[in-house]
């Protein structure tokens, strides 16, 4: 589950107040909080920027990341792809970056 509701409440904001501050409908935010609707990457980034956190933190996927164990290689690769997509990282960017080392 994502941390949107937790961060909103921690900042003493109602759905309506958060919606007004970031220009989004409070019913849309409610659906994001409950997982009934998945934000686009740009929306994740806007929310993360507003709360001054990373997108993975907001999505709830970075906690305990270093202790993860996967039953199969395919599941590990799928998880890496999910993180790359959430962070808008392309494989060619990683390959290009690794050439600098």
CA 3 to chain centre: 9
Show Cβ contacts of residue 25 under 8 Å, excluding neighbours closer than 6 positions. 19
Report the pLDDT value the prediction gives residue 67, as an integer from 0 to 100: 60
Residue 36 is classified by DSSP as S
Q: How far apart are CA 52 and CA 74, in angstroms?
A: 33
Please write the tens of the pLDDT for every residue from 11-33: 999 999 999 999 999 999 999 99
In CATH, 1-63 is 1.10.260.40: yes
Q: 46-60: per-residue pLDDT in tens?
A: 999 999 998 888 998
Parse the chain into domains and list their residue ranges: 1-63, 68-101
């Amino acid at each position: 589950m994502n941390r949107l509701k937790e961060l909103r409440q921690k900042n003493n904001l109602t759905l309506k107040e958060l919606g007004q501050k970031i220009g989004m409908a409070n019913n849309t935010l409610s659906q994001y909080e409950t997982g009934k609707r998945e934000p686009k990457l740009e929306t994740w980034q806007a929310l993360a920027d507003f709360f001054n956190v990373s997108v993975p933190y907001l999505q709830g996927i970075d906690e305990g990341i270093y202790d993860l164990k996967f039953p199969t290689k395919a599941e590990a690769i799928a998880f890496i792809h999910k993180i790359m997509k959430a962070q808008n990282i392309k494989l060619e960017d990683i390959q290009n970056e690794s050439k600098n080392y």
